[in-house]
Amino acid sequence: MVNGFIQASYFVVAVVFILGLKAMSSPVTARKGIVWAGYAMVAATVVTFFTPGMGNVGLMVLAIVSGGAVAWWSGKTVKMTDMPQMVAIYNGMGGGAAAAIAALEFARGEVHGPVAATLAVLGALIGSVAFSGSCIAFAKLQGIMQKAWRLPAQNQVNIALAAVAVLLGLGIIMSDTPASFLVVLFFIVALALGVILTSPIGGADMPVVISLLNAFTGLAVGFEGYVLGNPALIVAGIVVGASGTLLTQLMAKAMNRPITNVIFTPLTGAASGGGEAVEGTMKEFSSLDAASVMRYASKVIIVPGYGMAVAGAQHKVWEMAQLLEEGGVEVVFAIHPVAGRMPGHMNVLLAEAGVPYDKIFDLEEINADFAQADVALVIGANDVVNPVARTDKSSPIYGMPILNADMAQNVIVVKRGKGAGYSGIENALFYKDNCRMLYGSAQQAIGEVIQHVKALEA
Amino acid sequence: MEGFAAIYIFMLAAFTGYEVISRVPVILHTPLMSGSNFVHGVVLVGAMVVLGHADSNDPVQLAIGFVAVFLGAANAAGGYVVTERMLAMFKGGNKKQGGA
């Protein structure tokens, strides 16, 4: 009776999760979606306490309260620009939980049959990789780990470690009651694999990696759900595994970096060495010049990049855009799929500043409009507007879809200083005849522009 | 669980996941990734079940179970808070503004 009620509850929970994810696919219903899913999670947690034969309840409550409180507090206090690493670390924790479930099932000798054993081992392997990999991703985005490092013969080491993990896993599957040293060794190798796989990956590829690890955790949870005979875990885990895989593909496509390239041949200016030298000089612009050009333009397209977010300038930029609009200038925002650190990250940051989303356009929607724009204002973006991606076959970013900011009548680039972008590649846009550089931090440069625009109005 | 029934569940869930996300606009990709991150926080339920059945005289089992529940709870709670904060920003954004 109790069991039937619990099973029915899990069924409803699984349905609500799927409906919640569906609701999250439209801006109008998105917030409802997460709230529904939240209620479902609470319900699932509560009914689980009534599972027949549950012991260690005190310890369990302690773990839920402490784990939940730490995450709740850190999630509430984190800055919006730091969201990607928080998603990474919470995801890693889920992977770790899935791996720990497998570990405990092995310790209890509760994994029966070759199918369950195989899925338990796979879930443990994937979960461990997601855990340690996400910790590295967090450390990198948080700035704790500055440099990407590569082992000599990195790919061979990856393959060797993966092979060892698979062999140890096979050993566990084969034996009825696996020896504990075998299980411990397996987890050590799996965790090491996550570290070694993620360490050489550079910052620009990080969103793809986080998304991939998110899909990994989903799979691991689904597999452990099979081992535990819990359909709610299977459905939720596999749904996330599939959607995460699709999302990863979308991101990788947006960057023109196949997933295998992201993992096996990290993008760095030094390593690639390709790309022709760029001719010409960069021409400087004052904030007064920038203000007048934009004030008397009829259409301005703003291209924000991560540099703007780091400077926390999105509020100032929106203030300037509103000011220009009052003067009759049409102002829109063009967002590259990988602007920010994750797809859609820039949209979130602009939404935080109060920019309505009907002013925000995707690459496909807006690229043709640059030719009709009087000004393209590039703020803290670099590689995503580099025209060599269209023209220079030898460049490492050749073929990456870019925003055609160079097609606008005038291009104004707000930049902290001279120097190459995140990938270390020179930007040919900065040397073009229609391009002017406005040096300074985004916050301060846009602030000055606002003053000048106000002065022009007076 | 019957082997084949489970395979059907895996397959249908995979298609569902693919379909659910395939109509998501780019602006919601980050919140959606975060939201799906929250959904796999249901691993908490599995962690609770294994800790609940762990041998209460075996400190190793209890430690692993505690870690599992702690991490699962953190995944669920953190995933929820972060997603909710991001999506809350879209609330006011819906109003159409005049002009171009």
Q: pLDDT (tens digit, 9 = 90+) per residue, A302-328?
A: 999 878 887 888 899 999 999 999 989
The answer, yes or no, to whether residue A84 has pLDDT greater than 80, is yes
User: What's the pTM?
Assistant: 0.80
Stronger pLDDT, A40 or B33, i.e. the higher one: A40
pLDDT of residue A148: 66
Shortest distance, CA A282 to any CA of chain B (angstroms): 33
The ipTM of this complex is: 0.90
A23: exposed, middle or buried (C-beta count within 10 Å: 0-12, 13-18, 19+)? buried
pLDDT of residue B1: 55
- Mean pLDDT, chain A, rounded, equals 87
pLDDT of residue B96: 37
- Segment A430-439 shows an average pLDDT of 88
Structural domains for chain A? 80-270 (no CATH), 287-457 (3.40.50.1220)
What digits encode the pLDDT tens for the residues B32-80? 889 999 999 999 999 999 999 999 999 999 999 999 999 999 999 999 9
Determine which one of A289, A358, A374, A383 is catalytic: A383
Of A344, A365, A44, nearest to B21 by C-alpha is A344
A245 to chain B: nearest residue by CA? Answer: B18
Determine, for residues A30 and B31 on separate chains, whether the beta-carbon distance falls below 8 Å: yes
Q: Which of A2-16, A276-290, A432-446 has the lowest mean pLDDT?
A: A276-290
Name the percent of chain A lying above pLDDT 70: 92
Question: Cα-flanking dihedrals φ and ψ of residue A361, to 5°?
Answer: -125, 145
- Segment B12-22 shows an average pLDDT of 87
The answer, yes or no, to whether residue B99 has pLDDT greater than 50, is no
Shortest distance, CA B38 to any CA of chain A (angstroms): 8
A234 to chain B: nearest residue by CA? Answer: B10
The answer, yes or no, to whether residue A384 has pLDDT greater than 50, is yes
Rounded CA-CA distance A2/A5 in Å is 5
Stronger pLDDT, B100 or A297, i.e. the higher one: A297
Would you place residue B24 in the very low, low, confident or very high pLDDT band (cuts 50, 70, 90)?
Answer: confident
Determine, for residues B71 and A67 on separate chains, whether the beta-carbon distance falls below 8 Å: yes
The answer, yes or no, to whether residue A266 has pLDDT greater than 60, is no
A103, HSE (Cβ side, Cα atoms, 13 Å):
29
Active site residue A383: yes
pLDDT of residue A374: 92
Give residue A120's identity as a one-letter amino acid code.
A
Contacts of A354 in chain B (CB under 8 A): 92-93
Determine, for residues B29 and A343 on separate chains, whether the beta-carbon distance falls below 8 Å: yes
pLDDT of residue A421: 59
Number of H-type helices and E-type strands within chain B: 4, 0
Would you place residue B95 in the very low, low, confident or very high pLDDT band (cuts 50, 70, 90)?
Answer: very low
B43 to chain A: nearest residue by CA? Answer: A221
pLDDT of residue A113: 85
Task: Give yes or no for a contact between A208 and A259, defined as CB atoms under 8 angstroms apart.
Answer: yes
- For chain B, the C-alpha Rg in angstroms (whole number) is 19
Stronger pLDDT, A22 or B22, i.e. the higher one: A22
CB pairs < 8 Å spanning A and B: 394
The answer, yes or no, to whether residue A170 has pLDDT greater than 90, is yes
Rounded CA-CA distance A411/A375 in Å is 6
Neighbours of A281 (CB within 10 A): 7
Contacts of B94 in chain A (CB under 8 A): 27-28, 356-357
Measured between alpha carbons, how far is residue A256 from residues A107, A132, A165, A192, A400 in Å?
44, 26, 31, 29, 5
CB distance from A34 to chain B under 8 Å?
yes
Determine, for residues A101 and B43 on separate chains, whether the beta-carbon distance falls below 8 Å: yes
pLDDT of residue A271: 38
Neighbours of A223 (CB within 10 A): 30
CB distance from A70 to chain B under 8 Å?
yes
B80 to chain A: nearest residue by CA? Answer: A38
The answer, yes or no, to whether residue B93 has pLDDT greater than 50, is no
- Segment A279-297 shows an average pLDDT of 85
Task: Measure CA A252 to chain center.
Answer: 11
Contacts of B83 in chain A (CB under 8 A): 34
Edge-to-edge order in the sheet of strand A299-304: A360-362, A330-335, A299-304, A375-379, A410-415, A435-439
With tokens 């001719």, the residue in question is: A279
Contacts of B63 in chain A (CB under 8 A): none
Selected residues 203-232 of chain A with any CB under 8 Å from a CB in chain B: 210-211, 214, 217-218, 221-222, 224-226, 228-232
- Segment B20-40 shows an average pLDDT of 83
Q: Which of A217-231, A339-353, A375-389, B59-73 has the lowest mean pLDDT?
A: A339-353
The answer, yes or no, to whether residue A422 has pLDDT greater than 70, is no
pLDDT of residue A269: 42
Strand partners, A438: A414
Strand partners, A415: A439
Stronger pLDDT, A212 or A399, i.e. the higher one: A212
Q: Which of A86-100, A255-269, A329-343 has the lowest mean pLDDT?
A: A255-269
Of A54, A90, A52, nearest to A71 by C-alpha is A90
- Segment A378-388 shows an average pLDDT of 87
CB distance from A84 to chain B under 8 Å?
yes
The two tokens of residue A204 are: 């620009």
- Segment A267-282 shows an average pLDDT of 53
Measured N-to-C along each axis, helices B29-39 and A206-228 cross at an angle, to the nearest 10 degrees, of 30
pLDDT of residue A205: 77
The answer, yes or no, to whether residue A270 has pLDDT greater than 50, is no
Task: Give yes or no for a contact between B56 and A279, defined as CB atoms under 8 angstroms apart.
Answer: no
Contacts of B9 in chain A (CB under 8 A): 231, 234-235, 238
Would you place residue A36 in the very low, low, confident or very high pLDDT band (cuts 50, 70, 90)?
Answer: very high
What digits encode the pLDDT tens for the residues A107-146? 888 888 888 999 999 999 999 999 999 999 999 888 787 6
